[in-house]
Amino acid sequence: MTGPLVSIVTPAWRAGRFVGETIRSVQAQDYGEWEMHVVDDCSPDDTAERVEQIARLDPRVRLIRQPRNCGPAAARNAALEAARGRYLAFLDSDDLWLPGKLSRQLAFMAERDAALSFTEFRRINEDGSTVGRRVTVPDTLSYRQLLCNTAIATSTVVVDRERAGEFRMKKTYYDDFAAWLEILRRGHLAHGFREDLMRYRVLARSVSRNKTRSAKMVWQAYRRIEGLGLLDSAWCFVNYAARGALKYQRF
């Protein structure tokens, strides 16, 4: 399939075990008009070498080496600076897309005239041997609704930059959450595509598994980035936490 160019944003750190499989899930798509920017954030393992080997055989895959370790927001921004496509798709270096993900989601976005879309997904364990339940999504989310919701998984997101406008990731713990809020604050809706099209790999060392720290960072996002008042922040946080608990109550 051909159509507008899709630029894929993939930050990578210590992803040597998984990044090859992640890239192959992109290469297996039936939509071929894509470029994939894998940004190695000074990994201590062989992440960069594995990406480089694939890039030699497929020029659509591009390795960007960060000069120093600066975290996922800076890595994503490096990919955004290099991106040439109308569409921006996000895929973390240990997650996987299912076949047909891009073509189906782009068709959905065209039908809905969507600036931002996200899909359903399932979790997998570290070695991929266990597949979890289907995580469903709402039809749409407004800015206010997203403040109280955990529905958007980063590796399912596609943004139409012609509709959404340009944006960059902020240097914050949840840089992805802050970016989606920035886009929706402009008056757009996030459209949920009710198809299971991504596999989210659960890693024991993942920083997002530290729920206490995650809660603190969500609170800081409300207060420092979104500028919400104390009561408004508390209301959003209670709803966010409740939805997160329901989402993660079983694998």
Looking at the chain, the whole-number percentage of residues with pLDDT higher than 90 is: 90
Rg of the chain (C-alpha set): 17
Write the pLDDT tens digit of every residue in 90-117: 999 999 999 999 999 999 999 999 999 9
Q: Does the pLDDT of residue 208 top 70, yes or no?
A: no
Write the pLDDT tens digit of every residue in 113-163: 999 999 999 999 999 999 999 999 999 999 999 999 999 999 999 999 999
CATH class of 6-205: alpha beta
Amino acid identity, position 139: D
Other CB atoms within 10 A of residue 78 CB: 22
The ranges assigned to domains in the chain are 6-205
SS3 194: strand
Mean pLDDT on 182-208: 90
Do 179 and 221 form a contact (C-beta atoms < 8 A)? no
For residues 139 and 19, give the distance between their C-alpha atoms in angstroms, rounded to a whole number: 31
Whole-prediction pTM value? Answer: 0.95
Mean pLDDT on 1-12: 94
Do 172 and 225 form a contact (C-beta atoms < 8 A)? yes
Mean pLDDT on 231-249: 90
Q: Give the H/E segment covering residue 233.
A: helix 230-247
Q: What is the pLDDT of residue 244?
A: 87
Average per-residue pLDDT for the chain: 95
The two tokens of residue 114 are: 């969507």
Residue 116's closest CA among 94, 146, 136, 93? Answer: 146
